[in-house]
Amino acid sequence: MQHGILPLWKERGMTSHDCVFKIRKILHTKKVGHTGTLDPGVEGVLPICIGNATRLAEYLTDTGKVYEAIIEIGTTTTTEDAEGEVVEEDTTEKHITRTQVLEALKSLTGVISQTPPMFSAVKVNGRKLYEYARSGEVVDRPTRQITIYALDLLDDCEIYEGKSITFPVRIACSKGTYIRTLAVQIGEELGYPAHMASLVRTKSGTFTIDDCVTLEQLQEKVENEQLRDCIKPLEYALMDFPQIEITPDILKKIINGQVLPMHPSLEEHDKIVYMENNKAVAVYVKHPEKKGLMKPEKMFPKVD
């Protein structure tokens, strides 16, 4: 059985679950999980965890992402993207300068608040928002803080003119960011209705476009026995944490998942990884109740 992380290029028109289903069939294994939903209309980098690496899916979900989007000024939609029905339209002739766009992007860079769109998978009172939306219900949604690390304009236009205006942006952001909502917020800063016309995720954590394979390419690699070329070791998901080689005196304790005296590295980091011969054995975190001690958060059985 394979264990590791497959950087998949999710193609437009598929759900993240569709990808998991197809990979299970291609690899003949049930132990497959994705690392954060990408809407069907979005293509891009989607790391897939296989085998023991499924234990690390939440770590990869929590990493930052980079997207490239087309923002369209002039209309808003029910879904805040091009798939929804138009709910507001401004057909006036617009004249927006590059400076105005850059100022709008700057105002939305850093820590900002977002309210998830009704057509999203956020749960309220045990139901997903899109379930309420499909039945015509509108409910109060939780506003949350997210971080936009960078928001860059990708073209070189000086003036944007017309009844409908589009421009490309690149967004580096924290987990939980809704680019659709950000598109609407950019429009609000410019004084017009807006939506996200298209979106591509170009980076997820450490994985970029260059690391990815499509489902078709994955099938070919399986047929040609080249699967190891595209599946990364699960240690890739742990690269941001201190990695500590296990000493003989604590090897048995760590393998048995025992509580240990806190390692100095946990003063500056929230997790540490114990390694044996360059293979992850366990992830340890501060003990939530016992001061000066740490406990295992994840354990990784040996794989032949």
- Residue positions annotated with a catalytic role: 39
Q: Classify 258 as helix, strand or coil.
A: coil
**Residue 27, token pair as written in the block:** 């690899």
Number of Cα atoms under 13 Å in the Cβ half of residue 10: 31
Q: Classify 14 as helix, strand or coil.
A: coil
Backbone angles phi, psi at 228, to 5 degrees: -60, -20
Report residue 93 CA to chain centroid gap.
37
Dist. CA 170–CA 292, nearest whole Å? 43
Sign of CA dihedral 46, 52, 58, 60: negative
Dist. CA 12–CA 128, nearest whole Å? 23
